[in-house]
Amino acid sequence: MSDKSKDLNSHWAGPMRTIAASNEKGGVGKTTSAVNIAHGLALRGRRVILIDADSQGNCAPSLGITEKKGTLAELLLGQCSWKEAIITARPGLDLIPSGPRLAEAKDGLIARLAAENVIALSKGRPPSSDNNFLAKLLQPIKDYDYLIIDCAPSRDILNMNAIRFVQEVLMPVSVDYLATIGAGQHMMAIREAQEVGAEVYISYVVPTFFNKRTIKSREILTELQSFFGNVVTEPIPANVSLAEAPSFGQTIFEYAPNSSGAMAYTHLVEEICRDENKKNR
């Protein structure tokens, strides 16, 4: 092991980093990035909690987890305990899984807030503007080095909750034209959150599905770099092993540790670890 990698593996005692893998554009590699980065960090001795905030619930199967006692939906509705919802997925990596009930839970929470506000208004009290259900729930989580949220591909209330809760956004962007439009739209959503006081910023723009042999991939990478500057990371290649690993319930480090996908996520995890000591990441 080189001295450099020893440093990256040494335990870090800073405040918990909170990162949302988010982009309202679908299929750009949010879940793939969230799961592999979470595991990569755990392999480097970080204590990580991964929270699946997408009703597609892809994080659990990607980690080979089929049994769930509770999910984020039940937690939000107060219908299960933390103990039931938190699964130890790997050494150092805990998961709060998700599932289809999340959509129902979201509607239920909005309806509950609306009803409370009707009652408040009828009693001459101001309505509550506090609709950050996720922040209220996740606030007590402290015992980790990293809290990573895998967001759904939308601009719904839970995603906006997630963006307002975290400090950092890691935005995967697949290197195609429509995805760059999606990236711009997502940046606007983050600006809106900043305007209402969220101290969140984009710390990583991760180009995904990169193919160095195509001009289009290289052009879009250059475009992303000139628009987002030095938060653009090394690209993640289009790599069949990354697509296959979830069907075996394995991360890329388990399924194909020598693949180009594993190398790229290793570099990204190292970059994230290096930033731990930066003041303004």
User: Shortest approach of Mg ion to residue 248 CB, angstroms?
Assistant: 18
186 binds Mg ion (CB under 5 A): no
Give 26's contacts (C-beta < 8 A, 6+ positions apart): 153
- Residue from 9, 12, 16, 27 that binds ligand ATP (CB under 6 A)? 27
- Residue from 8, 19, 20, 28 that binds ligand ATP (CB under 6 A)? 28
Touching ligand ATP, residues 194-253 (CB under 6 A): 208-209, 236, 238-239, 242-243, 246
What type of residue sits at position 202? I
| C-alpha span between 210 and 208 (Å, rounded) | 5
The window from 27-35, 43-51, 135-143, 194-202 that contacts ligand ATP (CB under 6 A) reads: 27-35
Hey, CA dihedral for 193, 195, 200, 203, is it positive or negative? positive
User: Shortest approach of ligand ATP to residue 28 CB, angstroms?
Assistant: 4
Residue position matching structure tokens 């959503």: 189
Q: Max Cα separation, the chain?
A: 67
What is the side-by-side strand order in the sheet with 48-53? Answer: 87-90, 93-96, 48-53, 146-151, 17-21, 168-174, 201-208
The window from 6-14, 22-30, 133-141, 166-174 that contacts Mg ion (CB under 5 A) reads: 22-30
CA atoms within 13 A on the CB side of 237: 16
Taking residues 124 to 143 in sequence order and writing x for each that binds Mg ion by CB under 5 A, - otherwise, the string is --------------------
31 binds Mg ion (CB under 5 A): yes
Both structure tokens of 168: 């950092």
Both structure tokens of 72: 């984020």
Nearer to Mg ion, 31 or 233 (CB): 31
Say if CB 227 and CB 221 are below 8 A apart.
Answer: no
Say if CB 164 and CB 135 are below 8 A apart.
Answer: yes
Among Mg ion, ligand ATP, none, partner that 26 touches (CB below 5 to 8 angstroms by kind): ligand ATP
30 binds ligand ATP (CB under 6 A): yes
Among ligand ATP, Mg ion, none, partner that 182 touches (CB below 5 to 8 angstroms by kind): none
- Contact set with ligand ATP (CB under 6 A): 26-32, 54, 56, 58, 153, 208-209, 236, 238-239, 242-243, 246, 261
